[in-house]
Amino acid sequence: MTARLDARPKRFSSENLVSMLGKQAKVLYPPAIALLIFLVIWQALTSLPSATLPSPIQTVEETWELIINPFFDNGGNDKGLFWQVLTSLQRVALGYTLAAIAGIGLGILIGTSTFMFRALDPIFQVLRTVPPLAWLPISLAAFQQANPSAIFVIFITAIWPIIINTAEGVRQIPQDYNNVAKVLRLSRTEYFFKILMPATVPYIFTGLKIGIGLSWLAIVAAEMLIGGVGIGFFIWDAWNSSRISDIIIAIIYVGLVGLLLDWLVSQIARFVVPEEQKQG
């Protein structure tokens, strides 16, 4: 064996840091500049005498309290943004988890059985086009309570992409793998864990990713209607109290949380999906 004399471990030097920052800068500059331009235009437009919306500076000034202290809790609906978002997230978590369990199960069912596929697919195709809020009145009628109704709306919104993608994944399992399973006479359990799940997992996660986005879309709308604590009702409440700046800050929160959720599911997918099965 030969060893290279100059092969020393790289030290963390200031030179390295500078070059690293330089690289990061290339990625960070464009969005920062775009954001700046956006804020300038916003500021310019809202500086006009006929402006109805607050300028960015005005927004920050008016909502400073909300921004610096998201954790206050004055009882009732008067809570910091953190608590508002958390309540919404709890609803989403419950509805979405139920949708994931039911959706993956139903997806595998219609994916493996041609009969079930023929029976159920047309129904699913019709139901998935129904807008989330259209379910709200019927779920209020059924549950008689606001909270379960909101969770149901999340559930029914998120489940369709999960079902459809899972089913597609099962149907797309290469015939070769099925042939291997047949020749080896794998048991149902072995087939499920060794072949069906690994082969379908990328499709399932595609469905889950679409599902989480849709649930977050639906929760804001649903909460506006059902009231109580939650980021959706917070927005509606702010509108009723003409606190336009609060609405703006809440929208930014909603956007960031949505992004975070999407990122979270992607991270789980990265962890769960087998190396060889990653798409794109």
Partner 1 sequence: MSVFVEVDHVDRIFSMPNGNSYVALRNIELKIRKGEFVTLIGHSGCGKSTLLNIVAGLDQPTHGGVILEGRQVKEPGPDRMVVFQNYSLLPWLSVRENISLAVNRVMNKLPQGERRSIVEHHIDMVGLRHAADKRPGQLSGGMKQRVAIARALAIRPKLLLLDEPFGALDALTRGGLQEQLMKICEESHVTCIMVTHDVDEALLLSDRIVMLTNGPEAHVGQIIDVPFPRPRSRMDVVNHPNYYSLRSEIVYFLNQQKRAKKLKVQHATAIARNGLEKVNLELGFIPLTDCAPMIVAKEKGFFQKHGLEEVTLSREPSWKAIAEGVATKRLDAAAMVAGMPLGMTLGMNGKPPTPVITALTLSRNGNAITLSKRLFDQGVRTLADFKAAIARTPDKVPTLGVVHPSSMHNLMLRYWLAAGGIDPDRDVSLTVIPPAQMVSNLKAGNIDGYCAGEPWNSRAVHEGLGFVIATDLDIWQGHCEKVLGVREDWANQYPQTHLALVKALLEACEYCDDRRNRQEILDLLCQPEYVGSEAVYTRPGFIDSYNRGDGTAPQMDLHYNQFYVNKTNCPDHVEGLWILTQMARWGITSFPRNWIEILERVRRIDVFGQAARELGLQDMGRDRHPIYLFDGTVFNPDDPIQYLKDLPIKRETRIEEISLDELVGARS
**171 is a site residue for partner 1 (CB under 8 A):** no
Least distance in angstroms from the C-beta of 184 to partner 1? 5
- Token look-up 């963390």 returns 12
Least Å distance, CB 238 to partner 1, is 49
274 binds partner 1 (CB under 8 A): yes
Q: Torsions phi, psi of 73, nearest 5?
A: -140, 105
Q: Which of 61, 73, 78, 190 binds partner 1 (CB under 8 A)?
A: 190
How far apart CA 179 and CA 170 sit, in angstroms, is 14
The 85-114 contact track toward partner 1, x by CB under 8 A, reads ------------------------------
Instruction: Tell me: does residue 225 bind partner 1 (CB under 8 A).
Output: no
183 touching partner 1, by CB under 8 A: yes
Could you say whether residue 195 binds partner 1 (CB under 8 A)?
yes
Q: Is 73 left (phi over 0), alpha (psi -120 to 50) or beta?
A: beta
* Residue 226 CB, nearest approach to partner 1 (Å): 43
3-state secondary structure of 73: strand
Which of 28, 53, 67, 184 touches partner 1 (CB under 8 A)? 184
CB 94 within 8 A of CB 151: yes
Amino acid, single-letter form, for residue 231 = I
Site for partner 1 in 22-51 (CB under 8 A): none
Stretch that binds partner 1, among 107-115, 139-147, 251-259, 269-277 (CB under 8 A): 269-277
Exposure of 228 in the CB half-sphere (CA atoms within 13 A): 17
Alpha-carbon distance of 230 to 228, in angstroms, equals 7
User: Contact at 8 Å (CB) between 132 and 195?
Assistant: no
Quickly count: other Cβ atoms within 10 Å of residue 87's Cβ.
21
Q: Least separation, in Å, of the C-beta of 8 and partner 1? A: 30
Contacts with partner 1 by CB under 8 A lie at 174, 176-177, 179-180, 182-187, 190, 194-195, 198, 274-277
